[in-house]
Amino acid sequence: MIQTKGQFQSAKRFLFLVGDIGQFTLRFFREGFHKPFEWKEILKQCGEVGYRSLSLVGVTAFIMGLVLTIQSRPTLVEFGAESWLPAMVSVSLIREIGPVITALICAGKIGSRIGAELGSMRVTEQIDAMEVSGTNPFKYLVTTRVLATSLMLPLLVIFADTIALYGSFLAVNIKGAVSFQLFFNQVFETLEFSDLIPSILKSFFFGFIIGIIGCYMGYNSKKGTEGVGKSANSAVVVASLMVFILDLIAVQITDLFYEL
Amino acid sequence: MNYKTKERENVIEIRDLKKSFGDNHVIRGFDLNVKDRESVAVLGQSGSGKSVLIKCVIGLITADEGTIKVLGKAVEQLNQVELDELRTDIGFLFQSNALYDSMTIRENLEFPLRRLRRDKSKAEIDAAVQEALEDVGLFHTLNLMPSELSGGMRKRISIARTLIVQPKIILYDEPTTGLDPITAGEINQLMNKVQEKYKTASIIISHDLDCIKVTAQRIVILKNGINYKEGTFEELKNSEDPWVSAFFNT
């Protein structure tokens, strides 16, 4: 009986959370596209989200391409299909692994930063101070960050895909004498717009969800420094989970349009 | 500080204010009038609801019952746009100062101006920032970050930020708490200077009797969520009520 009551309470809390995030998202659409725009802050946040994530995303993508190629090679060699390696790795990277791994890295790096930053501003009354001065903290803090993550994540994914392909080339080149030109000829012969467009589109939604969840958790932070820690943590956990759920939906939709 | 307040109009009128948080009934029917250019201190024990009171006045917390009229407008009936417009006439000094720690002092002061007075040129904004900082004697901190300032300096900058939009009312939440007596004295003088120059009305929430003695013309004691006593500093200090006497003479 007690257990059932506890489960009921958890389900109720979860539904309230979903409802709250939905309202928060609606508010973003209500306020995000009305003048005045905070251009300066949007650019600053694009720099914070995009430029400052380049090194982490780059290193991770390089290792991802390298490892994926090294791990896949023995199986393909066994079937005498070693020459398919560039094609197989590039499709895996561009369609799925690149966007998802980049989104997960960004959920950790950017989601936690936004959650902690806004959470800290909430508990130190900085958001209240903006509110009482008659300015709109939601527009300044939330819309700018969500727009920045939405715009920057597709660019980060393109960057990560490129670096990952270089990593893959390096692995292929070390094991067998495949030239740069031959490798990328095979890659571009295999890849089509039907691989690229869904990948870029879903990256946009990954960016949006990372921004919205990070901002929601931080903006509604409570209970002092403990609350800030919880906000940052929840931002990462919920955003990562949402990335996988969105990916599942994106794959189904892509399958409808392009017959994967 | 002997302003004639009788003939002045009320800029804040609070009637039968009630606010609870769950089973905790913090304010149970509080009334207050503040006249134009009048400084009223609200005194009470920790947790008596003083900060909640001024957060209700500025619309940060919604009251459960009662009415709050600020500059003739009923706060609870305003929509967000109207409330934001009203807030431009009210300055709020947070106990924690609440300076934006990722911005320089200049950006802290410019923040409300750039968004609320979009017709102002850069030169006008610069002049307003300079005037506000000179009023608090900290023009040299213009390009510093809040973390580089002492507690007293942060409090002064916080006052400068409330002054920059030239409010008609200032709400002070524990303006001298956590400061040494000398710095607290300087803040008290600054509050008086601000009131004389900008002709503001104010509500001062404080435990600091020295602060209240110097800055407030009238004191209202909030106890058990209602108006317990009211008077000037001297009247309350000489009160025969044991609770008031203990508060003022301990």
In tens, the pLDDT along A200-233 reads 999 999 999 999 999 999 999 987 888 899 999 9
Q: Compute CA distances B179 → B116, B155, B185, whole Å.
A: 32, 9, 9
How many folded domains does chain B comprise?
2
Whether residues B94 and A135 touch (CB distance < 8 A) is answered with no
Whether residues A133 and B96 touch (CB distance < 8 A) is answered with no
Whether residues B87 and A132 touch (CB distance < 8 A) is answered with yes
pLDDT in tens, B179-209: 888 888 989 998 999 888 889 999 999 888 8
Q: Compute CA distances B150 → B49, B53, B146, B178, B183, whole Å.
A: 28, 28, 8, 12, 10
Question: Considering only CA atoms, which of B118, B120, B202 is closest in space to residue B167?
Answer: B202
Distance, C-alpha A69 to centroid of its chain: 23
Whether residues A135 and B116 touch (CB distance < 8 A) is answered with yes
Q: What is the pLDDT of residue A6?
A: 80
pLDDT band at residue B161, thresholds of 50, 70 and 90? Answer: very high
Instruction: Specify if A28 maps to a domain.
Output: no
Instruction: Specify if A205 maps to a domain.
Output: yes
Instruction: Specify if B141 maps to a domain.
Output: yes
pLDDT band at residue B16, thresholds of 50, 70 and 90? Answer: very high
Give the CATH number of the domain where residue B219 resides: 3.40.50.300
Instruction: Specify if B2 maps to a domain.
Output: no
Average pLDDT over residues B116-130: 87
Looking at CA atoms only, how far is residue A34 from chain B in angstroms? 14
Interface of A with B in 64-103 (CB under 8 A): none
Coil vs helix vs strand at B116 = helix
Token output for B235: 């009247």
Instruction: Specify if A237 maps to a domain.
Output: yes
More confident residue, A7 or A204: A204
Q: What is the pLDDT of residue A46?
A: 96
Least confident span in A251-260, B55-64, B149-158: A251-260
Identify any residues that bridge with B168 across adjacent strands, giving them in sequence order. Answer: none
Looking at CA atoms only, how far is residue B24 from chain A in angstroms? 18
Token output for B175: 């303006």
Q: What is the pLDDT of residue B99?
A: 94
Residue A36 pLDDT greater than 90, yes or no = no
Least confident span in A10-14, B6-10, B129-133: B6-10
- Looking at chain A, which residue has its C-alpha nearest residue B99? A126
Residue B172 pLDDT greater than 90, yes or no = yes
Instruction: Specify if B83 maps to a domain.
Output: yes
Cα separation, B163 vs B129, in Å, equals: 10
Mean pLDDT comparison of A69-83, A104-118, A213-227, highest-scoring range: A104-118
pLDDT in tens, B203-224: 999 888 889 999 999 999 998 8
B78 and B55 share one domain: yes
Average pLDDT over residues A6-15: 85
Rg (alpha carbons) of chain A, rounded to whole number: 21
Residue B6 pLDDT greater than 60, yes or no = no
Q: Is B87 on the interface with A (CB under 8 A)?
A: yes
Q: Give the DSSP letter of residue B176.
A: T
Q: Is B62 on the interface with A (CB under 8 A)?
A: no
Instruction: Specify if A22 maps to a domain.
Output: no
* Beta carbons of B67 and B14 less than 8 angstroms apart: yes
Instruction: Specify if A80 maps to a domain.
Output: yes
Instruction: Specify if B11 maps to a domain.
Output: yes
B73 and B179 share one domain: yes
Whether residues A128 and B94 touch (CB distance < 8 A) is answered with yes
B250 and B174 share one domain: yes
B48 and B102 share one domain: no
Whether residues A135 and B111 touch (CB distance < 8 A) is answered with yes
Q: What is the pLDDT of residue B47?
A: 84
Coil vs helix vs strand at B94 = coil
Cα separation, A214 vs A232, in Å, equals: 7
Looking at CA atoms only, how far is residue A203 from chain B in angstroms? 29
B14 and B110 share one domain: no
| Percent residues over pLDDT 90 in chain B | 57
B137 and B43 share one domain: no
pLDDT in tens, B52-111: 999 999 999 999 999 999 999 999 999 988 999 999 999 999 988 999 999 999 999 999
Q: Is B92 on the interface with A (CB under 8 A)?
A: yes
Amino acid, res. B11? V
Instruction: Specify if B196 maps to a domain.
Output: no
Looking at CA atoms only, how far is residue B52 from chain A in angstroms? 13
Q: Is B172 on the interface with A (CB under 8 A)?
A: no
Average pLDDT over residues B211-240: 90
Residue B129 pLDDT greater than 90, yes or no = yes
Q: Is B58 on the interface with A (CB under 8 A)?
A: yes
Please give the mean pLDDT across all residues of chain A: 91
pLDDT band at residue B1, thresholds of 50, 70 and 90? Answer: very low
Average pLDDT over residues A235-240: 95
User: Helix H segments across B58-104?
Assistant: 80-87
B161 and B180 share one domain: no
Q: Compute CA distances A99 → A50, A59, A95, A162, whole Å.
A: 15, 15, 7, 12
Cis peptide before B167 (omega within 30 of 0): no
B140 and B245 share one domain: no
Spatial CB neighbours of B69, under 8 Å, sequence gap ≥ 6: B10, B12, B13, B14, B75
Q: Residue A193 is inside which H or E element, if any?
A: helix A193-219
B120 and B81 share one domain: no
- Selecting from A124, A134, A136 the residue whose C-beta is nearest the C-beta of B85 gives A134
Q: What is the pLDDT of residue B114?
A: 86
Token output for B231: 């008077």
B240 and B213 share one domain: yes
pLDDT band at residue A260, thresholds of 50, 70 and 90? Answer: low
| Percent residues over pLDDT 90 in chain A | 68
Instruction: Specify if A180 maps to a domain.
Output: yes
ipTM score above 0.95: no
Structural domain span for residue A179? 37-258
Structural domain span for residue B129? 98-166
How many folded domains does chain A comprise?
1
Looking at CA atoms only, how far is residue A220 from chain B in angstroms? 14
B133 and B176 share one domain: no
Residue A21 pLDDT greater than 70, yes or no = yes
Looking at CA atoms only, how far is residue B232 from chain A in angstroms? 29
* Beta carbons of B206 and B46 less than 8 angstroms apart: no
Look-up of token digits 């916080």: B158
Whether residues B58 and A135 touch (CB distance < 8 A) is answered with no
Q: Is B228 on the interface with A (CB under 8 A)?
A: no
pLDDT in tens, A38-56: 899 999 999 999 999 999 9
